[in-house]
Amino acid sequence: MLTLRKASDRGAANHGWLKSFHTFSFANYRNPREQGFSDLLVINDDRVAADKGFGQHPHRDMEIFSYVLEGALEHKDTLGTGSVIRPGDVQLMSAGSGVAHSEYNHSASAPVHFLQIWIVPNVSGAKPRYQQEHFSPQKKRGRLQLIISPEGADGSLQVRQDARVYAGLIDGQESATLTLDANRYAYVHVARGSVDLNGLSLHEGDGVRVREEQALTLSRGVNAEVLVFDLRAQELPQLF
């Protein structure tokens, strides 16, 4: 069963320097029907103006990853990490017992467009950690590349939850299929472009809750970049 969440139905915020769309309830956007899905709590589609960003602020007990689509994002945290995240890079910060970080547009002239995604962990109070890896377009072209997993398999980043995240680039005649184990949910988010999911036409910003499906096939893409989340079969995140 596929349940479509249209891009136009998302929450929106415009702070001048920041334009953001919220798939699930976040900050001042509250929708009782959109409180997350399985262990997926937040998908924010953010565009940050040149030389602007999020000042240092704290988190705990959350797996937070950033996926840059355009531009460059500068990260600093109280673990001593300093890095710049560009398209193809995946950054994963496990907040654990507590960490503070800032995220700024690295450019003084061009905007940055990125997704910030929160996954609820399966353990409380763990040691904070930071990971970053680059996945080239070749690894994602016409296939679903594993970028996040519990085991850190195949060069993916290691998340503290029974969740796997795949990224794919689908265009023209390309197609990619993900087979789901029994009793698993999934969530599909179209980061840009358009694509068909099991025959359902999707566009940039659309999301789909997936239940009781054995396979997910992405096809008929037009410059599509897609994230697919393989998740536990539960409806809502369980917060500590």
Closest-CA residue to 101 (of 66, 49, 152):
66
Confidence of residue 54 (pLDDT cuts 50, 70, 90): confident
Q: d(Cα 214, Cα 78) in Å, to the nearest integer?
A: 42
**How confident is the model over 34-49, as pLDDT tens digits?**
999 999 999 999 999 9
The structure tokens listed for 26 are 């976040």
Tell me how far the alpha carbon of residue 85 is from its chain's centroid.
14
Phi and psi at 130, nearest 5°, equal -135, 135
59 known ligand binder: yes
Whether 22 has a binding-site annotation, put simply, is: no
Q: pLDDT tier at 84 (50, 70, 90 boundaries)?
A: very high
**Residue 52: what pLDDT?**
87
pLDDT of residue 82: 85
**pLDDT of res. 208:** 98
Kindly report, residue by residue over 98-140, the tens digit of the pLDDT. Answer: 999 888 899 888 999 999 999 999 999 999 999 999 999 999 9
pLDDT tens digit sequence for 168-210: 999 999 999 999 999 999 999 999 999 999 999 999 999 999 9
Mention the CATH class of domain 2-232.
Answer: mainly beta
Run of H or E including 140: helix 137-140
- Tell whether 134 is in a known binding site: no
- Asked if 130 contacts 158 with a C-beta cutoff of 8 angstroms, the reply is no
Bridge partners (DSSP) of residue 14 are 19
| Over residues 74-99, mean pLDDT | 91
Separation CA 207–CA 79 (nearest Å): 33
Side by side, which strands form the sheet with 99-105?
Answer: 53-59, 99-105, 73-77, 82-85
pLDDT of 51 higher than 90: no
Domain limits, the chain: 2-232
